[in-house]
């Protein structure tokens, strides 16, 4: 198994995480893992879909094809204010295939 760059998805705007995926793939990491917990799971799914479809201006810097390789749904025990609690975790593995388009000057 190859090492994947891990991007933890939190409460920042969607485009911040799409940009992180673009930057990682521009740097040569073609295998990325998005990790989200609890309420941010839907944002991670949105990031994966924007990257897969190459929607929007920011996502145009992605390789020709971005595939969702695997989805992993699990739960983790985390310590909270009121003791231990269970939190859902989603891991989405993305793979970029093809060339990254050259940066266009604005």
User: Can you name the CATH fold of 5-97?
Assistant: Translation Initiation Factor IF3 (3.30.110)
85-104 confidence digits (pLDDT tens): 999 999 999 999 988 777 66
Give the containing element (helix H, strand E) for 61.
none
Report the alpha-carbon distance of residue 65 to residue 56 in Å, rounded. 15
Report the alpha-carbon distance of residue 9 to residue 1 in Å, rounded. 23
44-79 confidence digits (pLDDT tens): 999 999 999 988 788 888 998 999 999 999 999 989
0.85 exceeded by pTM: yes
59 secondary structure, DSSP code: G
């Amino acid at each position: 198994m190859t090492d994947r760059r891990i991007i933890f998805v939190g409460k920042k705007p969607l485009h911040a995480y799409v940009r992180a995926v673009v930057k990682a793939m521009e740097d040569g990491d073609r295998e990325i893992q998005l990790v989200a917990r609890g309420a941010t799971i839907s944002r991670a799914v949105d990031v994966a879909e924007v990257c897969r479809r190459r929607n929007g201006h920011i996502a145009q810097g992605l390789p020709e094809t971005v595939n969702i390789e695997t989805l992993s749904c699990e739960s983790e025990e985390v310590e909270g204010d009121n003791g231990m609690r269970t939190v859902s975790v989603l891991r989405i593995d993305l793979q970029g295939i093809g060339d990254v388009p050259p940066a266009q000057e604005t």
